[in-house]
Structure 1
Amino acid sequence: MNESIVTGIPDTEPQPVPVATSRRLLRAGGATMAAALVGVVIGVGIIEVRYDDPAPVTAAAVPTGAPTPTATATPFGAKSNGNHFGSLRDLLLPVGGDYGLGPDDGGSGNDVELAAGQLDAELNDDILPVPKEQQDKLRRFWDSLHVKAIGVRTYKHRLNNLVISVKLHQFNQQEVQKMNEYTAVFTSDTGLFRTGPAVPGHPEAHCYLLPAPPSAPIDRMECSAAEGDLLVVLSSEGVTPLPKDKIVALLTQQLDRLASPGASV
């Protein structure tokens, strides 16, 4: 049986989540937990909970013939006020070293930038099951964020089954900060998640491991950080024990790349 819990827009103190939610948190289409917690697409107030037994989890396969990310001539970086400019695909950490491009992240692909218009259409589809009154509230909240785009890139470690997805959500700075703080409170106070490692040099970043039985062959860790007008959301999956140091190292490189002022190649 599937149920949806519709919460208020997360501009107030988060409400406690029922203990029953620990049985199963929906991870639809490879979307990161942080995005799901604060709502549809990047945070519009819906938390979806599935109460049926989880299906067996297997590591995602790497698609053949994955395209190589292409650089553009457009400059990119961060202004002194923290807002970023240029393509989000350029701001994403390039694939290289021990990593190749990973599998598609749901229906988003493995190396893509989604413009505001595309996200609006996705939002309209996602909230169709929601009562009309709530749909109107969610759309008003979405409009208040002034969403510009979302950039997605996935990484597959060449020596093991570690798969990492990084998403850059670009919208209003104040809301970026609030959503990052909201996710930190939710994941630390509900008791549903295991505490993850710190990210050196980035106190605004926080990581947490998803619920899993001790004998689970696959483990997942997710991280969230606010960098100016970018909400950075990392989702990782790999064979137990998860190589947390490799995940934190990649996240650190990504956040260093976005550091303001002066994000650079």
Structure 2
Amino acid sequence: MTEPAPEGELREHRSRRVRRVLLTALPVVLVLGAIGGAAGYTKNTVDAADRTVTTTIWDKDHVAKGKDPAGDPSRGRHDTELAKLLLPVPKGYRLGPDIGDLGNDSETSGAKASAAMKEMGRGLAGKERRELNKFIEKLRIQGIAKRSYLADSNDLLVNVEVVKMRDKRAVHRNYADRKKLLDGVDELRKGPSIEGHKKAACYRLPKGDKDTLDGVLCIAYEGEVSVSVEASGSKPFSPSEVGDLVKDQLDHIASPGEYI
């Protein structure tokens, strides 16, 4: 008869599964959380997740280069109102690898973004999917912009997403719902505080072994703009460095003309 796994080993396996969910399924969980559908999705995904997270190494010779007909492309595009909301690539960083199939410095229209979010609900029961679609429509998304930042040291990758909505109340509700959901994930550790921004919350990924990446998740909003940040890096990992970048991003949205 097979002996049961030691309690410590079970906890480690659980931690790895949770990390996997948070790194790969977070957008879905956050959207479904706003309509109360995250619990079942999270459980199913955790149960099916790969139990290992291997260290990723970024090769600077294989990082995609940003293209922008206006200005310095190495700092990111700024040819649209939405793109201008993203933090220009700061000193010590460069544009990172592609985020999914959208590139490393992308923009999506409100209509396409809403359609993509609705696709996240594929597989839900009819009632839950209708609730999801209704919730997404209420957000009145105007557009989404994403940019990846890779530290020159190649040991820290940060993906930033800004979502502009027509309804400021929807932005606030969305933040509150996501924060409540993430606050309920016991495995998450406290992340860095963002100086000068009370409408921001950061969470550090569960502890892993020496071969797993560390990381921070941050959510925030400023006016009619929702901000999400996912950072991952090799150890030793500095959450405060991520916090500084998040602060710069929020400062840039609040006063775009002041950031250089």
Summarize the Cα distance change of 1:30–1:94 in structure 2 as closer, same or farther, 3 Å threshold: farther
1:199 and 2:194 correspond: yes
Pick aligned residue for 1:120 from 114, 121, 126: 114
1:188 and 2:183 correspond: yes
1:24 and 2:22 correspond: no
8 Å CA contact 1:169, 1:230 repeated in 2 = yes
Q: Can you list the C-alpha shifts for 1:149-185, whole angstroms capped at 9, x where unaligned?
A: 1110000000131000000011121121122222333
- Structure 2: gaps (5+ residues): 1-12, 72-79
Look up the match of 2:147.
Answer: 153
Q: Which has the higher contact order (CA 8 A, sep 6+)?
A: 1
Look up the match of 2:103.
Answer: 109
1:224 CA drift (Å): 0.9
What code does the residue aligned with 2:127 have?
E
SS in 2 for 1:187: helix
Pick aligned residue for 2:248 from 244, 249, 253: 253
1:45 CA drift (Å): 5.1
1:247 CA drift (Å): 0.9
- Kindly, what percent of the aligned residue pairs are identical? 25
Look up the match of 2:52.
Answer: 55
8 Å CA contact 2:149, 2:157 repeated in 1 = yes
1:114 CA drift (Å): 0.7
Pick aligned residue for 1:179 from 166, 174, 181: 174
What code does the residue aligned with 2:29 have?
L
8 Å CA contact 1:207, 1:224 repeated in 2 = yes
Pick aligned residue for 1:162 from 117, 138, 156: 156
- The structure with the greater share of residues assigned to helix is 2
RMSD of the TM alignment (CA)? 2.9
1:46 CA drift (Å): 4.2
Look up the match of 2:68.
Answer: 70
8 Å CA contact 1:196, 1:221 repeated in 2 = yes
Summarize the Cα distance change of 1:26–1:36 in structure 2 as closer, same or farther, 3 Å threshold: farther
Give the paired residue count.
230
8 Å CA contact 1:218, 1:239 repeated in 2 = yes
8 Å CA contact 1:38, 1:45 repeated in 2 = no
Partners of 1:32 and 1:207 in 2: CA distance? 17
TM, length-normalised to structure 1? 0.75
SS in 2 for 1:118: helix
What code does the residue aligned with 1:263 have?
P
Structure number with bigger Rg: 2
1:92 CA drift (Å): 0.3
1:28 CA drift (Å): 7.5
